[in-house]
Amino acid sequence: MGCKSLDNTKKKHKKGLWSPDEDLKLKNYITKHGHGCWSSVPTNAGLQRNGKSCRLRWINYLRPGLKRGAFTSQEEEIILAFHQVLGNKWSQIAHHLPGRTDNEIKNYWHSYLKKKNSRMVTTESNDQNACINEQKNQESELSHSSFKSTQQNYSFESFENTETSIIDTDQSMQQIDNSRGAQKCSLPKVLFAEWLSLDQFHGQNSSGEAADFEYTHNNNNNDNNNFSYGDPLFHGLMLNEASFGNEMKPITNGICVDDMLQSQFKFEDQLADYFPGEFTVDCDDFFL
């Protein structure tokens, strides 16, 4: 790929932990020249390592902008949320946590979050009704405040796993809908999938009924998929921004895991604010 291999020599590559001197060499080289072709880095930087090892060291440890130290509760929640949707796609999860590496997230998951998550699932299954009541309270709070910390503003039950979430989401939403009467459910239900390319979104308000909205997206195969608003899958869509006329508004139905949108918004309430009328959503590369 336009890069002559300098890494295929017979010389033995050093393994194991990196010394401060090696770190310095690698850092200096990449800072000056960029990494270019990784296989040529060790030779050019004067290291007895292979390109792969250099790459890993740079990405996981030397790269500027890396956060060190403990994960915050917010980061933790983001990981749990994304893991629920994406599974073990550590690199994709890492894209939504600036300064964190996939390796770091993976380690954190296996050493801590995995256990925590399973505990929560157990607890939830024992006390689902309590959760629903809790959500009702949270929703009530949210209706008075659009921008709140993600912490405690959603429940992890939405993220247990994709299949069950779809079912549970629908059921719990139905329960809450019933309990709220005319009020519509706006619980955070994040089930978005990375394969979605959010190109179009059309909706029309009439009586405020859920099924009045329809979402359309085009994937890479140019075949359209449609979701009605009442469709649990639709509830799972993580939407970045919506344009109402010329005005851009965040309308995500769940937590916004994006850097700039670490808040939770009530999707339906906002729709109610901006409706009636047709609206479109323009989400740019949210999952990249």
Task: Provide the binding-site residues for DNA, judged by CB under 7 A.
Answer: 1-8, 14-18, 36-39, 49, 51-53, 55-57, 60-61, 88-92, 102-104, 106-108, 110-112
Strands 254-255 and 242-244: unpaired
CB 141 within 8 A of CB 264: no
Angstrom distance (rounded) from CA 11 to CA 9:
5
Q: Min. distance of Cβ 64 from DNA in angstroms? A: 16
Which pair of tokens denotes residue 177? 């809908």
Strand partners, 249: 242
Closer of 39 and 186 to DNA (Cβ): 39
Closer of 21 and 247 to DNA (Cβ): 21
Q: Strand locations in 191-246, DSSP E?
A: 200-203, 213-218, 224-228, 242-244
Closer of 58 and 229 to DNA (Cβ): 58
DSSP letter at 279 equals B
Closer of 53 and 270 to DNA (Cβ): 53
Contacts of 46 (CB under 8 A, 6+ apart): 25, 29
End-to-end Cα spacing for the chain: 23
Give backbone dihedrals phi and psi of 176, rounded to 5 degrees, phi first.
-70, -40
Q: Min. distance of Cβ 243 from DNA in angstroms? A: 30
Closer of 140 and 219 to DNA (Cβ): 219
